[in-house]
Amino acid sequence: MISFLRTVFAANQVIILSVYGQVFFVLALVIALQSWRHSRIALARSLQWLAAFGLAHALYEWGDVFIPLQSQYLPFPFVDFLHTAQAVLLAISFACLFQFGIEMLRPLPGRWRLVRYSPLGVLVLWMGWAFGPALAAVADIPLSLIHI
C-alpha cells in the first residue's frame, strides 16, 4: 500500500505542487482582499503578514514546478540563481509567518517591544549564515578570472 501511494504521488508530483502553491496563493489573495476593510480586532491588523506569507510560499512552491521545466532551456548559472531565489523566498515566507505570530502578541510591555523586530533579525542571521561564505569566496576571486 505504501509503495502504491509513493508511486501515485511521484507520478502526480507536478499536479500536487501546483495545487499546493495555488492554495497558498488563494489564501494570500483572500486575506489581502479582506484585510483592506477597517476592523478593531487585533487579528485583522496583522493579516497583511499572513497574506505576505501565503504569496511568498506560493511562489516558493511553484518554483518546484517551473524551475525544472526551465532548466532545460536556461544556462546553469541562471538556474542556480533561480534555486537561490527560491530558498530566499522560503526564508522570507517563514519570516512573514513569524512576524504575524509576533504581531499577535502586541501590545508588548516595556522592553519586550523589541521582540517585534526578532523575525527580521532571524532573517538577517539566516541570510548571513546561508550566503556569507559564498560572498566571502567571491570576494577572494581575482577580477581577471571573472568573465562577464
pLDDT in tens, 97-116: 999 999 888 777 777 778 88
Element (H, E) at 101: helix 76-103
Hey, what's the torsion of the CAs at 97, 103, 108, 114, to 10 degrees?
A: 60
Nearest to 123 by CA among 100, 101, 103, 94: 94
The pLDDT score that the predictor gives to residue 133 is 80
- The pTM of this model reads 0.81
pLDDT at 141 over 70: no
Residue 86, φ and ψ in degrees, nearest 5: -65, -40
Residue 104, φ and ψ in degrees, nearest 5: -70, -20
